[in-house]
Structure 1
């Protein structure tokens, strides 16, 4: 593909070359006609004589001989260390005596992804998936969050005073249902994570999604005690939902709702110092509305979750 400032495309080069080779135009006349230099016209005409139409394509600028390229044995060592120890360019450079930038280029040349894109346990590239329509799969999980005592916690009062204020404040259990395709989220602050509480939350979440035109088909949870009881199974059956569970010790399977909870902590729970738990809870509905309807989501190409649900973003005011 020609660069953006190239005066000729491959088609234009072919026309120029044919004018010179087939029609007998002088080089200077062809150069003036196609608004290029005399040497450019001579180059394309020469390539046409030697290679025909195939010679009109761009060639790689890589040199034929690279005397200073990293030796193959050293490259193999860098790749082996990366696969065995799962370390990045800086640590690879320290072990092999090369620059970190050189180690990075070796990894790229051998198609090895960044560590952030790899599974921590296996070192293999993370396999990402996304359901094709809203409601096909909904992730459910609970985030345990310490409540803020009246007067503020350690973020506003300091460690010592915050520790004294915290006595008896307890925890909030944030139950979330997140649609896999759209990332539309429904969250409630509940007093515990027992089986009846989780089942009642699923019932309300199903109604909330239904009001927005999303029928839940499957629900994915981890293997927590509440999700393995008959209360959860019976509720799913009554709602016409198929329950699914993640593999043991594999939280990545439910990673979308785990990532939502991290966003929730960063952008709401710990976004600013609150002086009481009621103040923080009062700010939550506005934040969740912003997340669903206005916040660009990088996981879905910068769109909002509501934009992936039919007509939902247009109905919202």
Structure 2
């Protein structure tokens, strides 16, 4: 039986056809053809369409090789779609630091031009049986997040209940707090308006207090999307946004209806409620402000923090400062 595996008759017929069609097509385009006035007549006469003809024609013009006039193998180009060399090791290393697939994708984009999609990263993790985060990964991520003082601050506004005062203020009272994500150093101020301007002044006071007392310099501040913090348009005209722009602090926003994004300051509200507010009665707003000031000194300087392995926020910040000075 004859072996036709290496018969090139079909290829020769293809090339012979294209050697005839290309000069005729170019003649029609230049208006020199005696048979066809329009390109559409040329396509219909030869039983083809513009998409198919131009696909092969443009491919031939780009390379100049007749081999590009032949049909190519269909299906996924798996050789071209494989992950770049060495990227799997990077994905595994980032995963062991506790990152999820979206965080890994964002980190890889900073150093590589070709980056696999998050779903491809997930397939790599599943291949290495790292698709579920272990306790060691979570602990490593917590350690990395608490790596730099002032890297991220959490700010939020909280309404005070009126029944905690013997002489309630004539208007609704609020408390605003700013807490450092790394050291848990925190400060809070009392205010009687949740408009953007007084919120801006109180936040500026807290930033200065934490800077002068503990040496904190914030790089980013995370807040919710309330009108007192965020501007829908023209952030340079919004008091809070303009203040952060002037100080060179990046403003980040929580996901809407997702208070867990700002979880550290939400947890601080619970601590403050348990230690100061719940079950207590204050003469007036000034009395509460004085008690709050004394508690903040205790919280930062003397109260052990569970997330800091039993250290106080001030002591933990001191260890970070010493480590930075030693590295320099």
Aligned to 2:302: 294
Aligned to 2:268: 260
Equivalent residues of 2:171, 2:192 under 8 A apart: no
Aligned to 2:181: 180
- Of residues 240, 244, 256 in structure 1, which corresponds to 2:248? 240
Aligned to 1:203: 204
- Of residues 244, 263, 282 in structure 2, which corresponds to 1:274? 282
Structure 1 residue 258 displacement after superposition: 0.5
Equivalent residues of 1:175, 1:190 under 8 A apart: yes
Structure 1 residue 206 displacement after superposition: 2.0
- Of residues 204, 214, 217 in structure 1, which corresponds to 2:216? 214
- Partner-residue secondary structure (3-state), 1:310: helix
Normalised by the size of structure 1, how large is the TM-score? 0.50
Aligned to 2:146: 131
Structure 1 residue 128 displacement after superposition: 7.2
d(CA) in 2 for partners of 1:251, 1:139: 11
d(CA) in 2 for partners of 1:298, 1:141: 22
What are the superposed Cα offsets for residues 170-229 of structure 1, whole Å, 9 maximum, x if unpaired? 322101010000110110001111111222222222211221211110000011112112
| 1:141 paired to 2:156 | yes
Larger Rg: 2
- Partner-residue secondary structure (3-state), 1:139: strand
- Partner-residue secondary structure (3-state), 2:179: strand
What are the superposed Cα offsets for residues 278-305 of structure 1, whole Å, 9 maximum, x if unpaired? 4333322111111111111112111111
Equivalent residues of 1:138, 1:219 under 8 A apart: yes
- Partner-residue secondary structure (3-state), 1:249: coil
d(CA) in 2 for partners of 1:178, 1:250: 18
d(CA) in 1 for partners of 2:244, 2:271: 28
d(CA) in 2 for partners of 1:274, 1:312: 37
Moved over 4 A (4+): 311-314
Relative to structure 1, the CA distance from residue 149 to residue 215 in structure 2 (aligned partners, 3 Å threshold; closer, same or farther) is closer
Please identify, of 220-229 and 173-182, the stretch whose mean Cα deviation from structure 2 is larger: 220-229
Normalised by the size of structure 2, how large is the TM-score? 0.49
What are the superposed Cα offsets for residues 102-146 of structure 1, whole Å, 9 maximum, x if unpaired? xxxxxxxxxx99xxx9xxxxxxx9x97433111000000011002
d(CA) in 2 for partners of 1:236, 1:313: 24
What are the superposed Cα offsets for residues 143-187 of structure 1, whole Å, 9 maximum, x if unpaired? 10024576x3xxxxxxxxxxxx76x74322101010000110110
Give unmatched runs, 5+ long, in structure 1: 1-111, 118-124, 153-164
d(CA) in 1 for partners of 2:259, 2:311: 26
Equivalent residues of 2:150, 2:216 under 8 A apart: yes
How many residue pairs match? The answer is 179
Give unmatched runs, 5+ long, in structure 2: 1-131, 323-328
d(CA) in 2 for partners of 1:239, 1:189: 23
Instruction: Give the superposed CA RMSD.
Output: 3.2
Aligned to 2:228: 226
d(CA) in 2 for partners of 1:128, 1:257: 19
Equivalent residues of 1:222, 1:245 under 8 A apart: yes
Relative to structure 1, the CA distance from residue 312 to residue 145 in structure 2 (aligned partners, 3 Å threshold; closer, same or farther) is farther
Relative to structure 1, the CA distance from residue 289 to residue 248 in structure 2 (aligned partners, 3 Å threshold; closer, same or farther) is same
Relative to structure 1, the CA distance from residue 207 to residue 281 in structure 2 (aligned partners, 3 Å threshold; closer, same or farther) is closer
